[in-house]
Amino acid sequence: MHAIKYNKCEKCSMAGTYYENTNGSPHYFCEHHKTEQSIKVLNLPHQSTFQKLLPLIAMIGVITILTIVSMYLKQDYSFMTGMMYMMSYFFLVFGLFKLPNLSAFADAYMTYDILAKKSRTYALLYPFIEIGLGVLYFFVIGGIYRDVFTFIIMSIGTIGVWKALQNKDEIPCACLGTVFSVPMTKVTLFENLFMALMALYMVITTLSMGHMAM
């Protein structure tokens, strides 16, 4: 049996479960971007939660492998070094995946991030902020200022994801841009919270050492 083909939402990367016929041309939208005129598409292929999250899980696996390899090459297996590489690759990989269709990423990100909802400019700049942080962590630049900034933006992201999950909104997770269709789940919440806590740990460690590393 052949898999049933379906279109992606025109506003994001989620499955186009609704469509509108405009001047003879069908336009597909997801649950979040549908309008009152949208019609439900029937017989969409079923995917388990694991299948939907597989791209995200794969990226986390790649980041973990890159971190281990980098620590091996540097011959430094300290916890702090591991966090530096982990955060560096996280921001670089996730930031780069958002760039292929920046406008579509911004549309998806604005559906749940509390700052992006108020500023599309922030949504468009966010991937570049992530890439910049990735570079800072890789070369160990910025010290406590970098970590405080990371903690703030990741905390803001965590709040947005938490609110979306509390409201049970069926919206796409923009963590991998629109390259992959990944739904918003508790995995996204954990991902943001984990990064925020790592940045906070670095801040506390630096303060406990009695100096601000630059």
Average pLDDT over residues 51-61: 86
pLDDT digits (tens, 9 = 90+) for 158-187: 999 999 888 776 667 788 877 777 778 888
Q: Which of 30, 50, 179 is nearest to 104 (CA)?
A: 179
Mean model confidence pLDDT for the chain: 84
pLDDT for residue 46: 58
208/184: higher pLDDT: 208
Answer whether residue 1 shows pLDDT above 50: no
Quote the tokens at residue 25: 């041309």
Report d(CA 195, CA 29) in Å as an integer.
31
Q: Which amino acid is at 23?
A: N
56/196: higher pLDDT: 196
pLDDT digits (tens, 9 = 90+) for 186-206: 888 998 999 999 999 999 999
pLDDT for residue 214: 43
Of the ranges 1-10, 33-42, 86-95, 168-177, the best mean pLDDT one: 86-95
pLDDT digits (tens, 9 = 90+) for 110-136: 888 999 999 999 999 999 999 999 999
pLDDT for residue 188: 87
Angle (deg, nearest 10), helices 120-138 and 79-97: 140
Percent over 70 (pLDDT), the chain? 81
Quote the tokens at residue 136: 């800072």
- pTM of the predicted model as reported, rounded to 2 decimal places: 0.76
Q: Which backbone phi and psi does 97 adopt, to 5 degrees?
A: -70, -20
Q: Which backbone phi and psi does 19 adopt, to 5 degrees?
A: -140, 160
